[in-house]
């Protein structure tokens, strides 16, 4: 089944909700990066949030990068998305092997660690990118993202992200929601929303049973709303030979010369999709010429 993202607003305008299923996206990430269970869950939560935050952007040319690093065994997790909600990402160490946490769940907080920051970089086509950064709350990612919205964007926000795995380690269900309260929100609506959010124990159970519509109904239970957008989302990398050629040119002529002399060829691997790009000697010499002549 395709992954779906829905954006809706309560009819009184006081609440905006993003929710999505990312089962296929997270499974694709797991296969690409060969992640162990706790890394699948951590990367999956980041990809789910990244997709929703991508669709918050205004222009097709904008992009958003989320990064978390709490000095835990997983190292950095990086995801990139844009207004399409399509997303890609990777973790520094996909082979993290941790036992369950005190609640018997995959120990995402333990893998990420809490000694560090959660960072959002938005490339909005301006001279400098927007950078927002908050200290990590607990490394579970959902709370860290909620904290980012509260402190960096001054928007009260609840975030729930879930990844449920089968015994084989494959992704059974994944998805989540980001719900935000606007400044002029009515007390009654806020109370309703709070009750709805608190009543949700597991987003992945809801997704498994009733899909994206089930999740939407639970968050917006007893609140009138209008769906503004519903679309398919997927794991998508936009790497190509031209981009990697530019990366090689950016190394500078000395480094390119060294590669030609010492290796005679170069193999570059995309971090996001593991696609390999080979450059032979002639191609590298061509790239060297471009580096010399600008
Ligand atoms: Zn790629």
CATH number of the domain residue 255 falls in = 3.90.1280.10
Within this chain, do residues 83 and 135 fall inside the same structural domain, yes or no? yes
Distance 267 CA to ligand 1 centre (A): 14
Q: Which of 182, 201, 233 delimits the end of a domain? A: 233
Instruction: Find, among 109, 114, 85, the residue nearest to 98 by Cα.
Output: 109
Domain that holds residue 260: 241-293
Within this chain, do residues 255 and 114 fall inside the same structural domain, yes or no? no
Within this chain, do residues 223 and 252 fall inside the same structural domain, yes or no? no
Distance 247 CA to ligand 1 centre (A): 13
Within this chain, do residues 171 and 86 fall inside the same structural domain, yes or no? yes
Contact (CB, 8 A) for 17 and 39: no
Distance 240 CA to ligand 1 centre (A): 7
Within this chain, do residues 16 and 70 fall inside the same structural domain, yes or no? yes
Within this chain, do residues 254 and 134 fall inside the same structural domain, yes or no? no
Within this chain, do residues 37 and 76 fall inside the same structural domain, yes or no? yes
Q: Which of 182, 199, 233 delimits the end of a domain? A: 233
Distance 269 CA to ligand 1 centre (A): 8
Distance from C-alpha of 1 to C-alpha of 233, rounded to nearest angstrom: 11
| pLDDT at 247 (0 to 100) | 87
Within this chain, do residues 32 and 80 fall inside the same structural domain, yes or no? yes
Distance 272 CA to ligand 1 centre (A): 5
Q: Which of 201, 233, 265 delimits the end of a domain? A: 233
The whole model's pTM is what? 0.94
DSSP, collapsed to helix, strand or coil, labels residue 57 as: coil
Distance 28 CA to ligand 1 centre (A): 13
Distance 4 CA to ligand 1 centre (A): 22
Q: What is the CA radius of gyration of the chain?
A: 21
* 136-162 core/surface letters (b: 16 or more CB in 10 A; e: else): bbbbbbbbbbbbbbeebeebebbbbbb
Distance 279 CA to ligand 1 centre (A): 16
Distance 79 CA to ligand 1 centre (A): 12
**Beta strand ranges found along 22-170 (DSSP E):** 63-69, 77-82, 87-91, 117-123, 130-135, 157-165
Tell me the C-alpha to C-alpha distance, in Å, between residue 92 and each of 23, 43, 87, 158, 266: 22, 10, 17, 27, 22
Within this chain, do residues 205 and 260 fall inside the same structural domain, yes or no? no
The total domain count for the chain is: 2
| pLDDT at 94 (0 to 100) | 97
Within this chain, do residues 119 and 139 fall inside the same structural domain, yes or no? yes
Give the angle 233-7-48 at the CA atoms, nearest 5°: 45
| pLDDT at 43 (0 to 100) | 98
Query: Mean pLDDT for each consecutive 10-residue tract of the chain (294 residues)?
Result: 95 96 98 97 98 97 97 98 98 94 93 98 93 97 97 94 96 98 91 96 97 97 96 96 90 91 91 94 92 82
Distance 43 CA to ligand 1 centre (A): 16
Within this chain, do residues 174 and 86 fall inside the same structural domain, yes or no? yes
Distance from C-alpha of 22 to C-alpha of 2, rounded to nearest angstrom: 8
Ligand 1 is a single-atom ion; what residues have CB below 5 A from it? 237, 239, 270, 272-273, 275
Within this chain, do residues 248 and 210 fall inside the same structural domain, yes or no? no
User: The CATH number of the domain where 87 resides is what?
Assistant: 3.55.30.10
């Amino acid at each position: 089944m395709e992954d779906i993202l829905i954006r809706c607003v309560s009819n009184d305008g006081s609440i905006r909700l993003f929710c999505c299923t990312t089962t296929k996206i997270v499974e694709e990430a797991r296969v690409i990066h060969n992640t162990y269970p706790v890394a699948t869950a951590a990367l999956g939560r980041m990809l789910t949030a990244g997709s929703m935050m991508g669709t918050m952007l205004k222009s097709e040319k904008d992009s958003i990068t989320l990064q978390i690093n709490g000095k835990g065994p997983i190292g950095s997790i990086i995801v990139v998305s844009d207004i399409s909600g399509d997303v890609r990402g990777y973790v520094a160490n996909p082979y993290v092997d941790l036992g369950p946490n005190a609640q018997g769940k995959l120990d995402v907080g333990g893998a990420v660690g809490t000694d560090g920051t959660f960072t959002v970089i938005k490339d909005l086509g301006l001279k400098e990118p927007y950078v927002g950064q908050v200290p990590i709350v607990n490394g579970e990612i959902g709370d860290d993202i909620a904290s980012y919205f509260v402190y960096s964007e001054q928007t009260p926000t609840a975030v729930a992200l879930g990844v449920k795995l089968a015994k084989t380690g494959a992704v059974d269900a994944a998805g989540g929601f980001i719900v935000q309260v606007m400044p002029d929100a009515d007390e009654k609506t806020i109370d309703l929303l709070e009750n709805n959010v608190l009543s949700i124990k597991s987003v992945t159970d809801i997704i498994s049973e009733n899909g994206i519509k089930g999740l939407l109904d639970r968050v917006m239970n007893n609140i009138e709303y209008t769906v503004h957008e519903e679309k398919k989302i997927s794991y998508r990398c936009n790497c190509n030979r031209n981009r990697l050629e530019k990366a090689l040119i950016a190394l500078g002529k000395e480094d390119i010369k060294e590669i030609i002399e010492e290796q005679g060829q170069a193999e570059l691997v995309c971090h996001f999709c593991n696609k390999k790009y080979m450059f032979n000697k002639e191609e590298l010499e061509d790239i060297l010429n471009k580096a010399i002549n600008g």
